[in-house]
């Protein structure tokens, strides 16, 4: 009888006061405004990419496309260099992210163990977060190593982020029991066996987070190719889009538009198309990352929360 009364008390719903309801309404309104401020610029870019260029120039575009047209996307996807750069970016992002995640997890596992000189090595990693040799020494070093204008450089450069390394190390320390390591050593496993058969399978959450971090960084990277790549066929998407948008916004030279539209169009038509192409480039560049982030978000919060706890 006593248990029944106690359960009823627990299950009894706490009634909201008028003040609580007003606060909920106010809070909902505030977040709806914030959501609108975030979503509308993205929506504007999408509708501008499929609207008439004159409507964009005249400021008539608001919430819906005007005179729906795919002329901008046709110009983008008919551009041979852009499609090649799209494939380059996919390859650089996938290959570079796999390499970065693998070495980050290996370094994180090593730093999660106790060994002599661990503090010095950890300091050595952290030191590079705040102090670097600079762009010119790095450029000269890569040129001396024969990596200038190579695909290899686009994959291995900036391979490990120290911030991601610290998150992965903390995740391993807080999420994988030390008893598993002791049991594995008793069974005759070495560090490599334990890392590949225990640590990696139990670290899927943080691995997914690292893939998102490294993937976004590599997909959005245009500066590396701007400095190190001279062959147009090896350029990533972002560098090519930057070149196209810069030439389109110049608007004073017919030759700058001929690079993108060819010799058979007038400058006025090229300027109109360039405005639509600019928004189309944004959509083409960001859509893959948004899709990947939506798919990986279920791992994101858990991985960040567990990886940020102090170990």
Q: What is the 3-state secondary structure (H, E, C) of 3-40?
A: HHHHHHHHHCCCCCCHHHHHHHHHHHHHHHHHHHHHHH
pLDDT for position 311: 45
Q: Look at residue 277 and tell me whether its pLDDT is greater than 60.
A: yes
pLDDT for position 253: 47
The class that CATH gives domain 74-307 is: mainly alpha
Per-residue b or e along 76-100, where b marks 16 or more CB atoms closer than 10 Å to that residue's CB: beebeebebbbebbeebbebbbeeb
205 and 306 in contact (C-beta within 8 Å)?
yes
Number of Cβ within 10 Å of residue 222's Cβ equals: 18
Average pLDDT value for the chain:
79
**Which residues, other chains included, contact 296 with Cβ-Cβ below 8 Å and sequence gap of 6+?**
208, 209, 211, 212
pLDDT for position 269: 60
CA distance linking residue 253 with residue 270, whole number of Å: 11
Provide the token pair at 270: 């090229």
Identify which of 44, 42, 50 has the alpha carbon closest to the alpha carbon of residue 67. 50
Provide the token pair at 40: 């509308």
**Mean pLDDT comparison of 61-75, 208-222, 288-302, highest-scoring range:** 208-222
Please give the C-alpha separations between residue 242 and each of 78, 280, 285, in angstroms, as whole numbers.
17, 13, 11
Per-residue b or e along 178-198, where b marks 16 or more CB atoms closer than 10 Å to that residue's CB: eeebeebeeeebeeeebbeeb
Express each pLDDT in 281-295 by its tens digit.
Answer: 778 778 777 777 777
Query: Could you tell me the pTM of the whole model?
Result: 0.72
pLDDT for position 95: 93
149: left (phi over 0), alpha (psi -120 to 50) or beta: left
**Mean pLDDT comparison of 27-41, 64-78, 121-135, 268-282, highest-scoring range:** 27-41
Express each pLDDT in 135-155 by its tens digit.
Answer: 888 889 989 999 999 999 999
**Which residues, other chains included, contact 218 with Cβ-Cβ below 8 Å and sequence gap of 6+?**
92, 93, 96, 97, 100
Provide the token pair at 163: 């911030």
């Amino acid at each position: 009888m006593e248990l029944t009364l106690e359960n009823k008390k627990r299950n009894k719903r706490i009634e909201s006061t008028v003040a609580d309801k007003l606060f909920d309404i106010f809070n909902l309104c505030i977040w709806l405004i914030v959501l609108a401020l975030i979503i509308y610029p993205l929506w504007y870019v999408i509708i501008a990419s499929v609207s008439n260029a004159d409507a964009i120039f005249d400021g008539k575009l608001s919430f819906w496309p005007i005179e729906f047209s795919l002329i901008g996307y046709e110009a983008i996807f008919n551009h041979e260099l852009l499609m090649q750069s799209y494939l380059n970016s996919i390859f650089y992002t996938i290959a570079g992210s796999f390499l970065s995640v693998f070495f980050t997890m290996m370094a994180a596992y090593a730093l999660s163990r106790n060994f002599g000189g661990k503090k010095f090595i950890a300091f050595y990693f952290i030191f590079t977060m705040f102090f670097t040799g600079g762009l010119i020494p790095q450029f000269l070093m890569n040129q001396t190593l024969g990596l200038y204008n190579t695909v290899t450089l686009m994959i291995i450069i900036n391979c490990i982020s120290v911030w991601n390394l610290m998150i992965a190390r903390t995740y391993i320390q807080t999420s994988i029991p030390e008893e598993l390591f002791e049991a594995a050593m008793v069974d005759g496993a070495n560090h490599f066996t334990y890392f590949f058969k225990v640590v990696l399978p139990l670290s899927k959450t943080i691995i997914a987070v690292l893939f998102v971090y490294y993937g976004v960084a590599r997909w959005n990277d245009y500066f590396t190719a701007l400095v190190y790549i001279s062959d147009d066929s090896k350029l990533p998407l972002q560098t090519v889009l930057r070149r196209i948008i810069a030439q389109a916004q110049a608007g004073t030279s017919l030759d700058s538009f001929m690079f993108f539209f060819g010799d058979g169009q007038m400058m006025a038509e090229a300027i109109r198309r360039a405005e639509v192409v600019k928004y189309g480039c944004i959509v083409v560049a960001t859509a893959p990352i948004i899709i990947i982030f939506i798919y990986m978000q279920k791992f994101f919060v858990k991985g960040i929360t567990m990886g940020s706890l102090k170990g």
